[in-house]
Amino acid sequence: MILLESLVMDVSWILDDLNDPQRAAVTAPLGPLRVLAGAGSGKTRVLTRRIAWLLAVENASPWSILAVTFTNKAAAEMRSRVEAMLDQPLGGLWVGTFHGIAHRLLRQHWQEARLPRAFQILDSDDQTRLLKRVLRDLNVDEKKWPPLAAAGFINRCKDEMQRPANVLDDGTPAQRQNQRIYATYQQECERSGLVDFGELLLRAYELWRDHPNLLTHYQERFQHVLVDEFQDTNTIQYQWVRLLSGNPCDVFIVGDDDQCVYGWRGSKVENIQKFSDDFPGAQTIRLEQNYRSTGVILKAANALIANNTGRLGKNLWTNAGDGDPVQIYAAFNETDEARFVVERIRQWVETGGQRRETAILYRSNAQSRIFEEILVGAAMPYRIYGGLRFFERAEIKDALAYLRLVANRDDDPSFERVVNTPPRGIGGRTLDLLRDTARAESCSLWQATSRLLGGKALSSRAAHAVRRFLDLVEALDRDSQDQPLPERVSHVIAYSGLQTMYAEDKADKGEMRAENLDELINVSARFIAHCDPVITGADPAEPDWLNTFLAHAALESGERQAGAGEDCVQLMTLHMAKGLEFSLVFLVGWEEGLFPHNRSAAQERQLEEERRLAYVGITRARQRVYLCHAEQRRWYGKETQQNPSRFVREVPEALTQDVRARVNAKLRPKAPPALSPAAAMAAGGLQLRQRVHHAKFGEGVVLAIEGEGYHTRAQIHFPAAGGPKWLVVAYTKLDRL
Ligand code: ATP
Ligand code: MG
């Protein structure tokens, strides 16, 4: 009896704050079980409690449990929750991502996996670099066969568990070519002991498949397998789970078909659907109550996702009151958007809120730049998750390396970085010779090269190639010397060949990198506009903009970001935000072309994935959501007019509230630039009901004017362009009629 009582007490701390279906899931008899439920319904909570249940009630040892999460952050959180519940460290418990777990297995069984003990992981950048070399060795023209496309092919094959030998020969030359590249690339990886991301999973799968005794060992060890975010597993991950779960198996998976957002990376929402076929006797439990968000947020998310077809369908409700309407903010431009967001966060903090409870979520990494800038200006600690910080990205480092060489020919790391980027036929042997000479003569690589060009040590081909490089840098310097900084940056990016190189990389990354390069031009323009001579050390009388800017870039790449434990604003892409929650969520850049992304808007299937991403975004919020869009944005290096995203319209108007612009002088890091004479004229001269003409929107009537000086904006009704628009007067050319 005493035993039973203590058991009941034990169990109550696991089950007390769960609803009935949640409790049913946590306490289900061992065996395959699937929890299918919408955002914020407690799937992750249930999975965590299930682990506690297994340990405390089923007497499972921590060793026998394997839990898979989607990010390392989520894994760390899950472990600490369980440890806190049981009040003890659980060293034997394996919690991690698929990649992390596969890596761990391969480290432990490197011999069986036929890997060198010190095998290294190839990140996607390294992978592309290696593929470039492979393409060159195979005499494949990089222009016709972009390395990123080859990488895409290889990664897809690995996700589908295909080795070069079993790539399906569909008879097309393209497929044969791809297969040949894959085979050579793979040989190269084996020879150098390199393992790419896809290889981690495939190797770990093959390790078990080919070593039945090892597999049995792990099947016996991991009696309990739990997987969060199951809707985003791909083929190899799914098969890996199947292989591991022996018979009988206790597999516990949770997921939401409406949150499948990695289709572009091979994840298959069908996996969660076919689970019940592949795991006989599987039970399904649905959770319908949402505990995260207010009624309004939930209704907004439900209405938006209802536009998708082929859903499993769910009925998600909440007990919470309606709460605040979804706040919609139409910004003048991207700077205004960022200032608005930071100002709202400041107010939140002033009234006792924590910074870590606020998140700025964007579609593409390039958008983070302006937020970093404004956050730094407002001295507000922040942290960017995932993705490299702007000045650390490879393409930005490439561009900066050229600029540094323009500023200082003797900058050896920059020389090394770009001497053969874009490729100009300078091989490893030539580089070694340059390095040896520089070392022997204690001079810079640049000087060594110049000296070697005077002698006979270099072959005529190599001499030609390095001379081209030296001439290029000299020309970049000479031709841009008299230009203002942004033009100079733009010139160097264009004429170094970087722009073309990245723009012609056909896969996702190339486009993104080209966008980032354009953003560097914008950054330099803003840098000059807001440069504070005291901070940057520029001589106000005659600033050396190039060097001041380069110093700024170098300093900023190392610091400023808050440390892990600090209370700071959270910045990440929508993809990274899956599974997380925050009191205040700012969804920024909800503009057609940006979100849904240009690429995805045309295809229904991709558009639906974008919409699921929007659904993920909205459902991250507990208390309040802001949907922000800018009317003008510096994008692809130029100022463009933007339309609000269709996803803004898909949120019922009754649930939303428009936020009026309020310019807060305190927030501005520096004084705004003085109004240009033309802008002052334009702002001063506009009157209510005045008729105007705009080059793109045609004739219109001024309905409202607000703001002041540089920030003056006018609402103008343009019948031909579909109604009223807010325009920033200083940026807009309007003819008065
Ligand atoms: P997502 O789909 O976004 O991953 P989820 O289904 O995993 O969401 P959780 O993150 O587990 O949902 O839970 C959402 C929030 O609701 C969390 O703050 C969690 O603590 C809380 N919650 C879940 N169930 C309950 C409950 N029965 N009582 C009170 N709060 C709960
Ligand atoms: Mg979750």
pLDDT per residue over 407-427, tens digit each?
889 877 789 889 999 999 998
Q: How far apart are CA 178 and CA 281, in angstroms?
A: 41
Amino acid identity of residue 341, one-letter, is V
In angstroms, how far is CA 397 from the centroid of its own chain?
Answer: 18
Q: How far apart are CA 88 and CA 326, in angstroms?
A: 42
Percent of residues, the chain, with pLDDT higher than 90: 53
For the CA of 45, the nearest ligand: 1
Its CATH architecture, for the domain 120-192, is Orthogonal Bundle (1.10)
Nearest CA to ligand 1 atom 23: 42
What pLDDT shows up at residue 313? 80
Residue 387's pLDDT band (cuts 50, 70, 90) = low
Q: How far apart are CA 158 and CA 81, in angstroms?
A: 34
Tokens linked to 305: 């996702």
Count helices and strands (H / E) in the chain: 29, 22
**Angle, helices 72-86/43-56, rounded to nearest 10 degrees:** 40
Ligand 1: distance of its center to the CA of 39 in Å? 8
Residue with more model confidence, 477 or 695: 477
Q: Which of 159, 196, 199, 229 is catalytic?
A: 229
Q: CATH homologous superfamily of domain 5-48+63-109+210-287?
A: P-loop containing nucleotide triphosphate hydrolases (3.40.50.300)
259 annotated active-site: yes
Tokens linked to 204: 């770990």
User: Ligand 1: does its nearest atom lie under 6 Å from the Cβ of 35?
Assistant: no
**Angle, helices 508-530/545-558, rounded to nearest 10 degrees:** 120
Q: How far apart are CA 614 and CA 611, in angstroms?
A: 5
**Length of the chain counted residue by residue:** 737
Give CA separation, 402 vs 192, 422, 508, 652, in Å.
Answer: 30, 11, 24, 50
Q: What average pLDDT is seen over the chain?
A: 85
Fill in the DSSP letter of residue 661: P
Ligand 1: distance of its center to the CA of 580 in Å? 10
Residue 123 has pLDDT above 70, yes or no: no
Amino acid identity of residue 272, one-letter, is I
Q: CATH homologous superfamily of domain 326-389+559-658?
A: P-loop containing nucleotide triphosphate hydrolases (3.40.50.300)
Q: Which of 252-266, 373-387, 496-510 has the highest mean pLDDT?
A: 252-266
List the one residue out of 724, 661, 653, 660 whose CA is nearest residue 326: 653
Ligand 1 atom nearest residue 47's Cα: 11
Do the domains 5-48+63-109+210-287 and 326-389+559-658 sit in the same CATH topology, yes or no? yes
Ligand 1 atom nearest residue 41's Cα: 6
Ligand 1 atom nearest residue 18's Cα: 27
Nearest CA to ligand 1 atom 31: 291
Residue with more model confidence, 736 or 244: 244
Give the model confidence (pLDDT) of 273-299 as tens digits.
Answer: 889 899 989 999 999 999 999 999 999
657 annotated active-site: no
Mean local confidence (pLDDT), 520-530: 82
Domain boundary assignment for the chain: 5-48+63-109+210-287, 120-192, 326-389+559-658, 392-535, 677-736
Residue with more model confidence, 236 or 684: 236
Which helix or strand (DSSP H or E) is residue 25 part of? Answer: helix 20-26
Residue 716 has pLDDT above 60, yes or no: yes
The order of strands in the sheet holding 382-384 is 382-384, 569-573, 358-362, 582-587, 621-630, 326-331, 656-658
Fill in the DSSP letter of residue 144: T
Nearest CA to ligand 1 atom 13: 42
In the block, tokens 């040590």 appear at: 457
Q: How far apart are CA 81 and CA 100, in angstroms?
A: 20
User: Ligand 1: does its nearest atom lie under 6 Å from the Cβ of 318?
Assistant: no
Q: For a substitution probing ligand 1, which of 253, 291, 623 has the most ligand atoms within 8 Å of its CB?
A: 291
Ligand 1: distance of its center to the CA of 328 in Å? 26
Fill in the DSSP letter of residue 563: P
Ligand 1 atom nearest residue 619's Cα: 3
List the one residue out of 59, 48, 45 whose CA is nearest residue 7: 59
In angstroms, how far is CA 13 from the centroid of its own chain?
Answer: 38
> Worst-scoring range by mean pLDDT, 8-12, 93-97, 335-339, 696-700?
8-12
Fill in the DSSP letter of residue 390: G
Indicate the SS3 state at residue 544.
coil
Give CA separation, 196 vs 14, 188, 596, in Å.
Answer: 40, 12, 30
The CATH topology of domain 677-736 is Thrombin, subunit H (2.40.10)
441 annotated active-site: no
Nearest CA to ligand 1 atom 19: 42
What pLDDT shows up at residue 118? 65
43 annotated active-site: yes
Residue 121's pLDDT band (cuts 50, 70, 90) = low
Q: How far apart are CA 67 and CA 223, in angstroms?
A: 11
User: Ligand 1: does its nearest atom lie under 6 Å from the Cβ of 256?
Assistant: yes
Give the model confidence (pLDDT) of 69-87 as tens digits.
Answer: 987 778 888 998 999 999 8
Q: How far apart are CA 551 and CA 558, in angstroms?
A: 11
270 annotated active-site: no
Residue 682 has pLDDT above 60, yes or no: no
Nearest CA to ligand 1 atom 27: 18
Burial of 19 (0-12, 13-18, 19+ CB in 10 A): middle
Its CATH architecture, for the domain 392-535, is Orthogonal Bundle (1.10)
Indicate the SS3 state at residue 470.
helix
Mean local confidence (pLDDT), 31-47: 96
Nearest CA to ligand 1 atom 8: 40
633 annotated active-site: no
Q: Which of 76-80, 199-203, 432-436, 664-668 has the highest mean pLDDT?
A: 199-203
Ligand 1: distance of its center to the CA of 18 in Å? 10
